[in-house]
């Protein structure tokens, strides 16, 4: 049983903890945070399913004073586990790394950390083998994770030469009031970091694109234009996506009209918090443009990186040595086809 700890019990950390708890070959030892945040209060009020450790021992009373039990410190948690999943606020992971190094504990960082925090910039499908045995992995961001799933699937099937994407990016997660409610669109400088990240992991693909922020919390939408080595038809692309366990093909005709339909559907399925591990591609959005092909995909930003992080544990801990075996195990435990 591989022992896993989670640092930072926020949007991503809560979901990583659930993800680990569902892997039958892993044990979630506990989660660490610094204060009685709403997710920590929810953890407490729903029966303290996971043991809580504090990353700020001098502020432990903030938790204990209101009855929240604390099982130890982050430093103690780091010593109890084989691997830490660091989902703290961007930049904190780099500081926590000193602790992980001190106790020779492996760690996986999330997209908000700088790339140099890790030995390998990791994606379960695109470069699993690079992560095998590595001490420090960094996951791609939510958009990049979903984007790479799709581009890698096409690349492995027919070879991708070039892609140009437009990302309609969700500006905040539900409850992120500190980001402000801006009823406006905001354009970023090109190329977007997702394309640069894609090229770091898949250097043979020439990627570029534009990102526009939008005041929406349920998902990003990306519309990649992909140049393949040989022309690919809509039917061929559909077959590639349908065969991918983490890509769900949906149809406008069936009522999947946009990002909100997918969020509601996940909720109707009974998925915890309306989480969805799959990215969705709209069948009717797939269209050829000359020799290129284009499509629209939805990225459930709160949960999309969970499967690839589980892959990261498998690679780093040498639980499985190939992407096929590693991703298949993760998929099995997260109920992906
Ligand atoms: N929110 C998303 O949609 C999303 C998607 C993919 C990746 N990410 C990445 O995941 C990481 C976490 O983002 P988030 O949205 O979950 O942030 P968040 O603000 O929701 O959660 C961060 C948590 O870390 C805690 N924390 C702060 N300092 C800590 C410390 N020293 N030790 C332990 N806990 C500490 C905070 O109290 C908070 O609960 C970032 O790198 C982010 O870029 C976020």
304 lines ligand 1 (CB under 6 A): no
191 lines ligand 1 (CB under 6 A): no
110 lines ligand 1 (CB under 6 A): yes
Average confidence score pLDDT of the chain: 95
Same domain for 151 and 290, yes or no, is yes
111 lines ligand 1 (CB under 6 A): yes
Confidence category of residue 337, pLDDT binned at 50, 70, 90: confident
Q: pLDDT tens digits, residue range 147-188?
A: 999 999 999 999 999 999 999 988 777 756 676 655 567 888
Cα 88 to middle of ligand 1, angstroms: 4
Same domain for 130 and 250, yes or no, is no
193/199 Cα distance (integer angstroms): 10
Q: Does 120 score more than 90 pLDDT?
A: yes
Mutate to test the pocket of ligand 1, among 39, 89, 94 (most ligand atoms within 8 A of CB): 89
| Closest protein CA for atom 31 of ligand 1 | 55
Confidence category of residue 196, pLDDT binned at 50, 70, 90: very high
Q: Does 20 score more than 80 pLDDT?
A: yes
Structural domain count of the chain: 2
Instruction: Quote the pLDDT of residue 186.
Output: 80
Mean pLDDT, to the nearest integer, of 236-260? 97
Same domain for 94 and 192, yes or no, is no
Confidence category of residue 214, pLDDT binned at 50, 70, 90: confident
Instruction: Quote the pLDDT of residue 183.
Output: 58
Asked whether 302 and 87 are in contact (CB, 8 A), the reply is no
Same domain for 36 and 161, yes or no, is no
Which ligand 1 atom sits nearest the alpha carbon of residue 14? 16
Could you give the residue ranges of the DSSP H alpha helices within 280-322?
Answer: 305-316
Asked whether 219 and 262 are in contact (CB, 8 A), the reply is yes
Query: Which of 53-67, 169-183, 192-206, 276-290 has the lowest average pLDDT?
Result: 169-183
197 lines ligand 1 (CB under 6 A): no
Same domain for 216 and 309, yes or no, is no
Mean pLDDT, to the nearest integer, of 69-78? 98
N-terminal to C-terminal alpha carbon distance within the chain = 24
Same domain for 178 and 290, yes or no, is yes
Q: Does 294 score more than 90 pLDDT?
A: yes
CA-atom Rg of the chain in angstroms: 20
Same domain for 39 and 105, yes or no, is yes
Same domain for 169 and 48, yes or no, is no
Which ligand 1 atom sits nearest the alpha carbon of residue 145? 6
Mutate to test the pocket of ligand 1, among 88, 303, 304 (most ligand atoms within 8 A of CB): 88
Confidence category of residue 328, pLDDT binned at 50, 70, 90: very high
233 lines ligand 1 (CB under 6 A): no
Which ligand 1 atom sits nearest the alpha carbon of residue 302? 3
Cα 90 to middle of ligand 1, angstroms: 6
Same domain for 52 and 103, yes or no, is yes
Mean pLDDT, to the nearest integer, of 209-225? 92
Unique residue bearing structure tokens 């709403």: 38
Same domain for 167 and 238, yes or no, is yes
Same domain for 166 and 284, yes or no, is yes
Domain range spanning residue 311? Answer: 2-140+305-333
87 lines ligand 1 (CB under 6 A): yes
112 lines ligand 1 (CB under 6 A): yes
Q: What's the pTM?
A: 0.79
Mean pLDDT, to the nearest integer, of 39-51? 96
Cα 13 to middle of ligand 1, angstroms: 7
Instruction: Quote the pLDDT of residue 321.
Output: 98
Confidence category of residue 205, pLDDT binned at 50, 70, 90: very high
Measured CA to CA in angstroms, residue 138 lies from 81, 145, 305 at distances of: 18, 11, 11
Same domain for 177 and 254, yes or no, is yes
Instruction: Quote the pLDDT of residue 22.
Output: 97
| Closest protein CA for atom 38 of ligand 1 | 10
Instruction: Quote the pLDDT of residue 182.
Output: 53
CATH code of residue 209: 3.30.360.10
Measured CA to CA in angstroms, residue 320 lies from 17, 168, 307, 312 at distances of: 21, 35, 15, 10
CATH code of residue 95: 3.40.50.720
Q: pLDDT tens digits, residue range 134-146?
A: 999 999 999 999 9
Which ligand 1 atom sits nearest the alpha carbon of residue 96? 31
Q: Which residues are catalytic?
A: 142
Q: How many Cα atoms occupy the beta-carbon half-sphere of 3 within 13 Å?
A: 9
């Amino acid at each position: 049983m591989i022992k896993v700890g989670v640092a930072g019990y926020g949007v991503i950390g809560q979901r990583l903890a659930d993800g680990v708890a569902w892997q039958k070959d892993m044990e979630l030892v506990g989660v660490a945070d610094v204060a009685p945040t709403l997710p920590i209060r929810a953890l407490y009020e729903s029966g303290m399913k996971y043991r809580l450790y504090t990353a700020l021992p001098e502020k432990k009373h903030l938790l204990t004073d209101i009855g929240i039990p604390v099982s130890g410190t982050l430093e103690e948690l780091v010593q109890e586990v084989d691997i830490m999943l660091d989902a703290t606020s961007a930049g904190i992971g780099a500081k926590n790394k000193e602790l992980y190094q001190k106790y020779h504990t492996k760690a996986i960082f999330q997209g908000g950390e700088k790339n140099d925090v890790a030995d390998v910039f990791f994606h379960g499908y695109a470069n699993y083998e690079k992560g095998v045995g590595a001490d420090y992995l960094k996951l791609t961001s939510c958009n990049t994770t979903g984007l790479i799933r799709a581009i890698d699937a096409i690349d492995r099937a027919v070879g991708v030469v070039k892609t140009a994407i437009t990302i309609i990016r969700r500006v905040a997660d539900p409850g992120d009031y500190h980001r402000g409610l801006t009823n406006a669109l905001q354009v970023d400088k090109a190329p977007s970091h997702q394309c640069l990240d894609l090229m770091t992991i898949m250097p043979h693909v020439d990627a570029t694109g534009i990102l526009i922020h939008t005041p929406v919390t349920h998902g990003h939408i990306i519309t990649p234009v992909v140049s393949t080595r040989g022309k690919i038809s809509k039917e061929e692309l559909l077959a590639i996506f349908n065969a991918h366990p983490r890509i769900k093909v949906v149809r406008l005709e069936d009522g999947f009209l946009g990002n909100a339909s997918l969020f509601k559907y996940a909720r109707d399925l009974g998925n915890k918090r309306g989480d969805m591990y799959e990215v969705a591609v709209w069948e009717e959005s797939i269209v050829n443009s000359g020799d290129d092909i284009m499509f629209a995909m939805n990225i459930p930003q709160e949960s999309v990186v969970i499967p690839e992080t589980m892959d990261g544990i498998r690679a780093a801990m040498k639980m499985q040595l190939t992407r096929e075996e590693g991703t298949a195990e993760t998929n099995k435990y997260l109920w992906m086809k």
